[in-house]
Structure 1
Amino acid sequence: MPEKASAHLIRWAMGGVLYGLLEILWRGHTHWTMMLLAAILCIPLDIANEHIPWEFPLWLQAVLGGTAITAAELAAGLVLNVWLGLGIWDYSGLFGNLWGQICPQFWALWCLLAGPVIVAFDWLDYLSGAGDRPSYKWI
């Protein structure tokens, strides 16, 4: 059991660092709170992923993951950007935004990113001997 816990901790930390690197590639900079949020988001997504049956379509898993990420982005944005005034991101100029903190375009991006993360987590479990060989359904 301690091996599995340490594997999860490493995975979550890697999720935060990889997100920070993606954001640097995308925007040219990041904020430490975004890496922390990404690492924290990996926790429920990773745990939920362990309990979702293989028959559950991968695209729907990605949509659920992207929706969870968007909900966390809204909560974090309201605290970091609105309440604390840090101005880490502002989607005010984007169509369909909610208080400048979330928008449909980034929800779609989070869904697209959630899919490969789900697959990577599954393969990491399998290759470490902690899970079954990944087998996905699309429909």
Structure 2
Amino acid sequence: MLKKNAVLFLTGGTVYPALEVLSRGRTDISMSIAGGVCLCLIDQICHKKMQNCSLAQRCAAGSGIITGIEFLTGVVVNIVLKMNVWDYSAMPGNILGQVCLPYSLLWFFLTIPALGVCAWFEKFIAQNSRLSRKL
């Protein structure tokens, strides 16, 4: 379990800032931490606890997780520490310039591949644990 969470954290902590670099050309270390936390929470909540829910419900929860973590990170990094890493003030449906409706919608759809990553890691770990028991 600990290994899976570490791998998920590192994966989310790599993919999330990479997406940011691809979309806007730069990122911040805080996005690595946020991405790692998001993927671990998506695994625990959307992949495990909500496994019997519809994909839309799981994606809505994933969007809420990512938006919430992004908001908390933004409040600390942008407002409290005044690092000005991002500002969504010009975006529709923004809250304090830290999160906005268009990105929350994007996070809804980004939850689909995140769930796939969680499922793949779970299957990979299950297969490897069976192999190690045979040895």
Normalized against structure 1, the TM-score is what? 0.83
Residues 1-139 of structure 1: matches in 2 within 5 Å? 4-48=1-45, 49-53=47-51, 55-129=52-126
AA at the equivalent of 2:70: E
Fraction of identical pairs, as percent: 27
CA RMSD of aligned residues (A): 1.4
Unaligned runs of 5+ in 2: 128-135
Q: Deviations over 1:110-130 (max 9, x none)?
A: 111111101221122123327
Is 1:66–1:107's contact at 8 Å kept on the other side of the alignment? yes
- The 1-side partners of 2:3 and 2:87 are apart by 35
Larger RCO, structure (CA 8 Å, separation 6 or more): 1
Is 1:59–1:115's contact at 8 Å kept on the other side of the alignment? no
Is 1:16–1:39's contact at 8 Å kept on the other side of the alignment? yes
Q: Deviations over 1:54-86 (max 9, x none)?
A: x31112101111111111111111111011110
Aligned to 2:131: none
Normalized against structure 2, the TM-score is what? 0.86
Deviation at 1:89, TM superposition (A): 0.5
Unaligned runs of 5+ in 1: 131-139
Is 1:91–1:102's contact at 8 Å kept on the other side of the alignment? yes
- The 1-side partners of 2:89 and 2:49 are apart by 37
Is 2:9–2:36's contact at 8 Å kept on the other side of the alignment? yes
- The 1-side partners of 2:49 and 2:92 are apart by 35
User: How many corresponding residue pairs?
Assistant: 126
